Amino acid sequence: MRLVVLILLAMAPAFALYVFNSYQQTVAQKGNVREAALRLVRVMKASHTQTIEEAKGVLKAMAQLSSLRKTGPHRCDLLRSELAPTFPRFAEIGLASPNGDVICLTGPSRAKSNVASQPFFSDTMARHDIGAGPYQIDEASLLPQVFLGVPITGDAMRVDAVLFASLSLSQFETLPPAVQLSHDSIIVVFDDTGLVLARYPDPQGWRGTRRIADSPIVRTVRGSLEEEGVIDLQGADDVPRLFAFAKIHRTTKQTVYLAIGIPAALAYADASNAFRSNMLNLGLVSLLVLWIAWVGSHRLVVRKMQSLIRVSDRIRNGDFGARSGVARTRDEVGLLASAIDSMAQSIQSRVAELQRHGDELRELKEMNDALQACMTQDEVLAIVRQFALRLFPDQPGMLYLMHPSGDHLEAKTRWGDPAAMNEFLPQDCWAVRRGKMYRVEAGGDQPRCHHVQDPPPGNYVCVPLMVQGEMLGLLHLENDKIGNRSREQPMVQAAAEHTALTLANLRLRDTLHAQAMRDGLTGLFNRRFMEESLSREMRNARRTKSPVAIVMIDIDHFKRFNDTFGHAAGDTLLREVGKMLQRQMRGGDLACRYGGEEFTIILPATSLHNAADLAEKLRDSARHLRVTMDGQALGQITISLGVACFPEHGDTWEAVLHAADIALMQAKHTRNRTIAYGAEEVSVPGRKVGT
């Protein structure tokens, strides 16, 4: 009996742990059910939101039709004959004047002759943007619907009319087939007044009524500050249910909710059954333990040996965390158990070390793969920080990059709270001086780097980022483990090498990209980039029906300037003219060197008149440009300009560029002139024309 009592006392913690784990498992299963219900609500909410946004986009697109922006009876014909059949999701489409009078309406009219008092109309007029009314039930079809309105603006952004439409929210009809709900589950859509917009299934005809206005679910969601949630409540049909709800529409006057109700007994059936099964198993095990303890007390030694055999089998099958559990006594069984446990501990430590090394290699490979996919320096910095936290946990650090001036290093990213400066000179770090890794141990006599602040960390290591002898930056890690020095250093070195190679490749790519796009003398875009940009801008202009202007520029008497002052002075003049063009350009304009002393300016979305005005400003700026070389003034310069515009002067960029070139040739007959293609000399009021 004493042995039975002893066994029961020994097993009591295990039984308690089993009960606790069973309870936790039940709680987790219930949590999974609640999360699944919430995910289902989110999917339905996203589907509904997408439908509303698509409808708003369609209505906005209608409002941009030029036929609707012009007054006349043709607008009503367009609504009835084309727009209404094209967009059947709109039950009605109408047009109203700014004072709310309905101009025309498609379909059987159920709207008032004046909609000024409608919420969607006042919302649209107040915001000068798309407005929406409350969700409501259509009296004829008994389906939920919402009115949307969008302003049709004329000159000076004045609202000339309001295009409105009744959007049938009939997609609620498709929700039940789209989801696999359990038996007796319901889906209900209602507003904060308790009006049922949709209910599935709805055998009792709840839609369009307020029969759930005082139900627990309506009171709960109406008083909740959360956008979504899960709660156990008594349903309006007196059935305990698990409700998952979300707000799908909210204005100052109305909030609409979507809720899914699953019978609680059905929702938690699996969790409850699992808990009962676990408790039954526990009872059976308890009875079995008592029987074994009662009839097998004489087999204490055999049980110990069986335990040793079991742990040996587990170790043989790869479970190196297995232990015998036998007391380490000085008898033969205790010594054998101690030897087996020590062996398992040694094997487990070695396997853990190998696994840790493999994990680190995989992390390094992932880091290298991520760095190879980086397109910018900021992406590299983010990747380095991410993997530094994974490779070197609990080790603060910083990544420094050399400033473009080359006179100091500055911190670009950090993790933890390192005791290092944000900026320092190259001579302040021993690793930068020596060009190799430098490590300082706590209590050591190595000189510390000057960029490490007081109080200094116990240990730190600095690894320079170098590629082909060029110093790109520095990787600084603190509190690295002395006991794992042989393991830590290769990891730090490898991470630094991957980072340095990636940064060097990005710099090389950026340099090659700039050389391919820019003119080396003036810094402007080259001719190849100009042709690609013209092709792109012409495609955009055709799509948006906007103009694109081209200005051709030629420096007057450039050959004589070269012959007088030399080619070096000519290069200086070209650079100064390039700088002048860059200063005068607006955002989105492109200044390019066409070749020799000729330049081209691309002006997207710019009319011929505005382009000519900008050309006159450039000509005036050129007359006031003062170019000096070695302290000697090179004299006043003038430029000639030719202007052409798409689509007036051609339907391709080659044709427009040719037209601008012809205008430039006309301007060069007298020089210091701006000529628009097909027109006389451009004259801007208030500005004198040069001679």
Strands 639-646 and 674-676, how do they pair? parallel
597 is catalytic: yes
Q: What torsion do the CA atoms of 580, 584, 586, 591 make, to the nearest 10 degrees?
A: -40
| Contact between 419 and 453 (Cβ < 8 Å) | yes
| Contact between 371 and 498 (Cβ < 8 Å) | yes
String of DSSP letters for 105-154: E-SS--S-SB-TTSHHHHHHHHHTS-EE---EE-TTT--EEEEEEEEEE-
Out of 597, 598, 680, 681, pick the active-site residue.
Answer: 597
Q: Which two tokens stand for residue 626?
A: 């003062």
Among 144, 143, 146, CA closest to 131: 146
Q: Which two tokens stand for residue 686?
A: 């208030």
CA dist., res. 477 & res. 460, Å (int): 6
Exposure string of 82-121, with b = 16+ CB inside 10 Å and e = fewer, is ebbeebeebbbbbbbbeebebbbbbeeeebeeebbebbbb
| Contact between 524 and 576 (Cβ < 8 Å) | no
Within 197-268, where are the H helices? 216-223, 264-267
Question: CA separation (Å) from 313 to 123, 273, 317, 324?
Answer: 76, 34, 6, 11
| Contact between 218 and 212 (Cβ < 8 Å) | yes
CA dist., res. 381 & res. 396, Å (int): 15
CA dist., res. 222 & res. 581, Å (int): 62
Going along 405-524, which residue ranges are E strands?
409-415, 423-424, 438-440, 460-467, 470-478
Residues 6+ apart with CB under 8 A from 228: 38, 41, 42, 45, 244, 245, 246, 247
CB atoms within 10 A of CB 125: 18
CA dist., res. 392 & res. 479, Å (int): 10
* Phi and psi at residue 398, to the nearest 5°: -145, 155
Report the sign of the C-alpha dihedral through residues 514, 516, 520, 526, in that order. negative
Among 649, 642, 644, 645, CA closest to 673: 642
String of DSSP letters for 518-562: B-TTT-SB-HHHHHHHHHHHHHHHHHHT--EEEEEEEETTHHHHH
SS3 string of 259-308?
Answer: EEEEEHHHHCHHHHHHHHHHHHHHHHHHHHHHHHHHHCHHHHHHHHHHHH
| Contact between 548 and 537 (Cβ < 8 Å) | yes
Catalytic residue positions? 597
